Amino acid sequence: MRHEEGANQKTEWSLLKYKRLWSKSLLDWYAVHGRDLPWRRTRNPYAIWLSEVLLQQTRVDQGLSYYLRFLDHFPTVQELAQADIQDILRLWQGLGYYRRAHHLHCAAKLVVEKGGGLPQSPAEWLQLPGVGPYTAAAIASIAQDYPAPVVDGNVIRVLSRAFGAEAPYDTAEGLRWIRQTAQNLLDTDRPGDYNQALMDMGATVCTPQKPACNICFWQKKCVAFLQDRVGELPKRSKSTKVVPLTLDYLVLFHRGRVLLFPRRDQGIWAGLYEFLPQPWAGAWDESAWDQHWGSEHPSETLSHRLVTVSHALSHRSLTLNLNCIRLNRNLHLDGGVWVTLQDLERYPLPQPFLQFLKQIDFNHGRTQQSHAHRQPRQGPRSQNP
């Protein structure tokens, strides 16, 4: 038996010894310190599903207003299923990870096609697009009292520290330990409260940086605290590689309007609007422009200015080269739509584009304030983030 396996088995025995104390302490703490959130005042599985999807990769304070707006616009799964995807994306604007919105819409349509009844167990929830094991366990335990433990980054951190996980959690052995520990410790009488308590503890006390061990109810039993290994746990065997990527766009302005195009591919911005992807590779090039549109819009009649914007995604570090061009005449391009600043909110846009356009004088295609744009590290060029 390898050292790590032996050590993990020891922690499994010790956590079984503490199961009842852990669960009671956690639920007592939650009763006093749990966050008062709107989705915790309901048992409606649709509302809880909505909250779980909105909160994936999103901070609670950021997701809260989206949750209220979504429920207001689409109070039932039927109304969500009938909605236009553009209306859903517009409400989603600013939240990022737009694939979630597409999946949610698709899942609502599936539910309605099958008669409108929502799933009753984690296995049934897992059949819906966009619902993974964490979301399925969260909805089924919170809304339907199903005894399923949740496992996400918060839970991995809390359990690894509190009970001293030895194997890195991104290895088969480490993952097995986490799943088994989560299952063994689950309070099956109150699975929904238990799961939410664990999430709150990870979000507010046992945080990634500077956990509040001095006020933690588990401090006297916590393996990481007692062994002075809080900063070391949870262990990870490899780090996520963030890949730099450069996207080049032509941002065309004419008479106080900007030209936008719906994006159709399957990337993270699928279904949103964007500027015209630059049809040639590399930097702004007057002769390349003239080859495409020079007969109607010779490059010497244009005003061109490059604005470079950086945008960080979890797996990508984007550099957006936005070539702002003011046209003297209209330019007709298939699929393009000319949009005024006032109408901008009718078109769902990726967040960096929206932020950029809010600073632009549409009549001149220039930023209203002077911004020093640092030249970020440019990655390989692509049109798909």
Indicate the residue among 224 and 327 with the shorter CB distance to ligand SF4. 224
Closer residue to ligand SF4 in complex, CB, 116/231: 231
Q: Alpha-carbon distance 302 to 312, whole Å?
A: 31
Task: Confirm or reject binding of residue 349 to ligand SF4 (CB under 6 A).
Answer: no
Give the whole-angstrom CA distance, residue 186 versus residue 134: 14
Q: CB–CB of 251/260 below 8 Å?
A: no
* Cis status, amide bond into 133, omega within 30 of 0: no
Give the shortest CB-209-to-ligand SF4 separation in angstroms. 12
**125 or 225, CB closer to ligand SF4?**
225
Tokens 């106080």, located at residue: 256
Catalytic residue among 5, 12, 52, 232: 52
**Judged by CB under 6 A, which of 74, 225, 289, 356 binds ligand SF4?**
225
Q: Which is nearer to ligand SF4, 39 or 218 (CB)?
A: 218
Burial (Cβ within 10 Å: 0-12, 13-18, ≥19) of residue 271: buried
**H-assigned helices in 118-190:** 122-125, 133-144, 153-163, 172-185
Per rule CB under 6 A, is residue 71 in the interface with ligand SF4? Answer: no
**Candidate list 105, 161, 263, 311; residue touching ligand SF4; CB under 6 A:** 161
Nearer Cβ to ligand SF4 (162/309): 162
Query: Does 185 help bind ligand SF4 (rule: CB under 6 A)?
Result: no
Catalytic site residue 52?
yes
> Cα separation of 336 and 191, whole Å?
51
Give the x-and-dash track for 205-224 against ligand SF4 (CB under 6 A): xx----xxx--x-xx--x-x
Q: CB 92 → ligand SF4: shortest distance, Å? A: 33
**Count of residues in contact with ligand SF4, rule CB under 6 A:** 15
**Nearest-angstrom CA–CA distance, 5 and 325:** 62
Task: Tell me the angle at which helices 45-55 and 99-113 cross, rounded to the nearest 10 degrees.
Answer: 160
User: Which residues are marked as active site?
Assistant: 52
Binding site for ligand SF4 (CB under 6 A): 158, 161-162, 205-206, 211-213, 216, 218-219, 222, 224-225, 230
